[in-house]
Amino acid sequence: MEQVLTSTQIRQTIAEVFQQNMPFHQLIGLKINHYTADSVELSIQMKPELVGNPIHGILHGGVTATILDVAGGMMVFAQVIENMEHITEQTVTQRLQNLGTIDLRIDYLRPGRGQEFIATATVIRAGNKVAVARMELHNEQGEHIAFGTGTYLVG
Amino acid sequence: MEQVLTSTQIRQTIAEVFQQNMPFHQLIGLKINHYTADSVELSIQMKPELVGNPIHGILHGGVTATILDVAGGMMVFAQVIENMEHITEQTVTQRLQNLGTIDLRIDYLRPGRGQEFIATATVIRAGNKVAVARMELHNEQGEHIAFGTGTYLVG
Amino acid sequence: MEQVLTSTQIRQTIAEVFQQNMPFHQLIGLKINHYTADSVELSIQMKPELVGNPIHGILHGGVTATILDVAGGMMVFAQVIENMEHITEQTVTQRLQNLGTIDLRIDYLRPGRGQEFIATATVIRAGNKVAVARMELHNEQGEHIAFGTGTYLVG
Amino acid sequence: MEQVLTSTQIRQTIAEVFQQNMPFHQLIGLKINHYTADSVELSIQMKPELVGNPIHGILHGGVTATILDVAGGMMVFAQVIENMEHITEQTVTQRLQNLGTIDLRIDYLRPGRGQEFIATATVIRAGNKVAVARMELHNEQGEHIAFGTGTYLVG
């Protein structure tokens, strides 16, 4: 018999999977700090391998794009979960397999200097087929490093 | 006395730096296959750490964004070099330090399945302050994985 | 009894509606030159009211955005029609009402000088829920004025 | 002898020019409600000619793109003015002639229903060569119709 789960339980499971079972997330050290129905916070510690330019010692723009893309995808999926009537591991897994980024825009505001980088996201268009999120990346001093906008297939 | 270099020499040096001295490029295994005045080809071998989703075994979208961003940046910089009147290691280094991505759009066309991914780029707007490139990512079978558009500060 | 139509017939009807029954298209003088299953060509004659900057006499960037958005939307809809099994005025009208632009990127390459501007589009991602097109705007001399990328809801 | 102007005076002149001397702005009825060093508000009254789809009676997406593009351009130019040391009609005109949209992204959030549409903008990246703004369009009831992001050449 399949077990009905709360949205809190399923988000916790997803956060664990995204942090521990996604090889590229492990490679860059992506952490899920929290994940609720209407907010998500991801972070990454600066480490030598993530540097783009060794002279400036700044975060590679590809890491910025990665963490913002993931933040947006998790945020729109939180809304998918909230709108599901029957949450089981199976139904969530099905929906998660359909989740995909259609397009992504990153606006790089300033060089990625810092010890830690924190990504957050907000849903700006919710839908049962397509959703759009806006994302932000700040360093540990609150400096705003980048904005992102992502359009995701969710249905 | 500073040595005047040809644009071919300087591109070769840049290609070596981008492949060997950029920590994040080494982490993901980015290779510069060729780099001329009007074309660039980068590639990456699929390896377990680059996978986003372990069930599907596909390339993480952040790796796609990374390689396309770098391809676009190198291509617009090739045009910067062509337009420089006096190419020395010093003048090129100065210009290279000013190179930065302002914004980047990635259009994900299909899942990143494959053994190798090849990125190419074309300049669509050349300028001495800002340049814009379009990029493409294909796998080793010629399947088109993603498009990119990048706006770069070059001056 | 509802009449089954060919895709050619339905595209012709849509082209007429887009050219004659869309108030804003009439205001700016948008013409549909041709509309097939895999290509679309729209054009606009330069006229004083479409000028953005009276000193330079160039096409307003908003007109560029408009014509490229419409070109992309029509092109993705042509593919929707091709994939419909049962084409009637009613089924097409239903699908057309669901057609909407989710996001649009315009890359302005050079000032919009010219007597006539021609927009074309290509589908880069076909889908039954979301489709993505790339668009181009040239003037009557073949000068490339702008690129566009549009993500459309089609389902 | 050239007259030195305050930034308030020059913004007022620019607002008048944008509202009264730009043919396409007159065609669609664009109004500049206010224009300060750190905010701008533009509006447009709904009228039949601006309708995209006559069945739904909603604002054409091209009008949305137009008003957001102009709002972003005016906002980044306000910052250009603030950073100018010597403001005369001539120096401002020179800078204004260099102002141009490099790329623009519009995210359409919901259908453009309403009697009036209000556009606002914020600079997210200030620079003496390139600046980036984020824009929003709301209707008279405060419903959020669209977001925009624009990258502008300002130098």
Do residue C124 and residue B147 have CB atoms under 8 angstroms apart?
yes
Contact B154, B129 (CB under 8 A): yes
The partner residues of B26 in beta bridges, in order of sequence, read none
What does the pLDDT look like over B1-48, one tens digit per residue?
567 889 999 999 999 999 999 999 999 999 999 999 999 999 999 999
Instruction: Name the minimum distance, in Å, from the CA of A111 to any CA of chain D.
Output: 12
Distance between CA B58 and CA C1 in Å, rounded? 49
In the block, residue with structure tokens 């399949």: A2
Chain C residue at shortest CA distance from B130: C109
Confidence (pLDDT) at C85: 87
What does the pLDDT look like over B114-127, one tens digit per residue?
999 999 999 999 99
Question: What is the DSSP track for chain A?
Answer: -PPB--HHHHHHHHHHHHHHT-HHHHHHT-EEEEE-SS-EEEEEE--GGGEEETTTTEE-HHHHHHHHHHHHHHHHHHHHHHH-SS-BHHHHHHHHHH-EEEEEEEEE-S---SSEEEEEEEEEE--SSEEEEEEEEEETT--EEEEEEEEEE--
Do residue A65 and residue B69 have CB atoms under 8 angstroms apart?
yes
Which of D103, D129, D132 shows the shortest C-beta gap to B129? D129
For chain C, give every domain's residue range.
7-153
Contact D117, D68 (CB under 8 A): no
What does the pLDDT look like over B63-114, one tens digit per residue?
999 999 999 999 999 999 999 988 888 899 999 999 999 999 999 999 999 9
Positions of chain D with pLDDT under 70: 1-2
D63 neighbourhood in chain C, CB within 8 Å = 24, 62, 66
Round the average pLDDT of chain A to a whole number and report it: 95
Do residue B149 and residue D103 have CB atoms under 8 angstroms apart?
yes
Mutate to test the interface with D, among C21, C64, C106 (most CBs of D within 10 A): C106
Do residue D23 and residue C100 have CB atoms under 8 angstroms apart?
no
Instruction: Name the minimum distance, in Å, from the CA of C4 to any CA of chain B.
Output: 33
Distance between CA D19 and CA D29 in Å, rounded? 8
Positions of chain C with pLDDT under 70: 1-2
Q: List CB contacts of C111: < 8 A, sequence separation 6 or more.
A: C56, C58, C145, D100
What does the pLDDT look like over D68-98, one tens digit per residue?
999 999 999 999 999 998 888 899 999 999 8
Contact C153, C106 (CB under 8 A): no
Which of D23, D108, D111 shows the shortest C-beta gap to C103? D108
Confidence (pLDDT) at C1: 54
What does the pLDDT look like over A98-154, one tens digit per residue?
999 999 999 999 999 999 999 999 999 999 899 999 999 999 999 999 999 999 999
What does the pLDDT look like over A37-92, one tens digit per residue?
999 999 999 999 999 987 888 999 999 999 999 999 999 999 999 999 888 888 99
Chain A residue at shortest CA distance from C129: A129
Token duo for residue A39:
């907010």
Subunits with 3+ Cβ pairs within 8 Å of A are B, C, D
Token duo for residue C56:
């330079």
B 121-140 residues with CB < 8 A to D:
125, 127, 129-130, 132
Confidence (pLDDT) at A2: 67
Helix (H) or strand (E) holding C29: none
Round the average pLDDT of chain B to a whole number and report it: 95
Which of D27, D54, D103 shows the shortest C-beta gap to C22? D54
| Alpha helix positions (H), chain B | 7-20, 23-28, 61-83, 89-98
Contacts across the B-D interface (CB distance below 8 Å): 29
Chain A residue at shortest CA distance from B19: A52
Instruction: Name the minimum distance, in Å, from the CA of B78 to any CA of chain D.
Output: 20
| pTM of the complete model | 0.96
* Residue B99 at interface with chain A, using a CB cutoff of 8 Å: no
- CATH superfamily of the domain spanning A7-153: Hotdog Thioesterase (3.10.129.10)
B72 neighbourhood in chain C, CB within 8 Å = none
Distance between CA C123 and CA B138 in Å, rounded? 17
Confidence (pLDDT) at D85: 87
Contact C80, C154 (CB under 8 A): yes
What does the pLDDT look like over C89-109, one tens digit per residue?
889 999 999 999 999 999 999
Confidence (pLDDT) at A1: 54
Confidence (pLDDT) at C20: 94
What ipTM is given for this predicted complex? Answer: 0.96
How far, rounded to the nearest angstrom, does the alpha carbon of residue D93 sit from its chain's CA centroid? 17
How far, rounded to the nearest angstrom, does the alpha carbon of residue D50 sit from its chain's CA centroid? 18
Instruction: Name the minimum distance, in Å, from the CA of C104 to any CA of chain A.
Output: 10
C51 neighbourhood in chain D, CB within 8 Å = 22-24
Question: What is the DSSP track for D65-112?
Answer: HHHHHHHHHHHHHHHHHHH-SS--HHHHHHHHHH-EEEEEEEEE-S--
Distance between CA C77 and CA D112 in Å, rounded? 21
Which of C107, C125, C151 shows the shortest C-beta gap to B124? C107
Contacts across the B-C interface (CB distance below 8 Å): 29
Confidence (pLDDT) at B119: 98
* Residue A96 at interface with chain D, using a CB cutoff of 8 Å: no
A109 neighbourhood in chain D, CB within 8 Å = 124-125, 132
The partner residues of B32 in beta bridges, in order of sequence, read B42
Confidence (pLDDT) at A3: 77
Confidence (pLDDT) at A140: 98
Which of B127, B132, B153 shows the shortest C-beta gap to D103? B132
